[in-house]
Amino acid sequence: MLEQLATLIEQVMLWLGYVGIALIMFIENVFPPIPSEVVMPLAGFLAGEGKFEFFSVWIAGTFGSVLGAVVLYYIGLWVNQAVLLRFIERYGRWIGISVQDIHRALSVFDRYGEIIVFVGRLIPLIRSLISIPAGMHRMHFARFLAFTVGGSAIWSGVLAYAGMMLGQNWQLVVEFLKTYQNLTLATLGVGFIAFAAVFVVRRVRPALMRAQREARSIPIADK
């Protein structure tokens, strides 16, 4: 499956050049089943073979990624959350997005705030979908664009450079990112649990203690 996908992507790149790289990265953001961890290392490998120029590959990949993120941002800006979830529930399987993916992106944005738009570009499972809650929360577009360009440039550049350095073994990047993805999700999970624990200690516990003190201070009527 990976080899067939890589062959198709390579054909498109060689046919359309840098426009093809940007187009595939645009599609990758809107339709996650096309993974950037295949696209950019392969483009980097082709750059190492002399078929492309590395800097142009980097710019094309970043541009396509940002353009796709902007589309998702405006979807989040214009579409009601309930409508979006109903659409994903009905048609999401055709574009490789589940309702759980949307809920994950929303919860991560709520937990970490706007900075996750930058950091999230470096996390495979949420790097595309994080643009939707940014739109839903009416994040200032200039700040969204700056965070997206920064994160996308790092992601695209690192993957392309790794592919160029690994040469024929560029597919090792995919295997490495599977481990990286699992570790990142585990870290986010621990962070969420820690946040919940701190919230309980700082907010819920004092409220319970006040309620207990008030209960003790209420005089008991003589029988």
Digit-coded pLDDT (tens) for 32-90: 666 667 788 888 888 888 899 999 999 999 999 999 999 999 998 888 888 888 888 88
41 and 96 Cβ atoms separated by less than 8 Å: no
Residue keyed to tokens 């996390």? 123
Interacting residues of 104 by C-beta distance below 8 A, sequence separation 6+: 125, 126, 129
pLDDT (tens place) for every residue of the chain, 223 residues total: 556 777 788 888 889 999 999 999 998 888 766 666 778 888 888 888 889 999 999 999 999 999 999 999 999 888 888 888 888 888 777 767 778 878 878 888 888 788 888 988 877 767 778 898 899 888 999 999 999 999 999 989 988 888 888 877 766 666 655 554 444 444 444 444 444 444 445 555 565 556 566 656 655 554 4
CA gap 38, 32 in Å, rounded = 12
The answer to whether the predicted template modeling score (pTM) of the entire model surpasses 0.85 is no
Q: Say how far residue 168 (Cα) sits from the centre of its chain.
A: 28
What the block records as the tokens of 37 is 């961890």
146 and 115 Cβ atoms separated by less than 8 Å: no
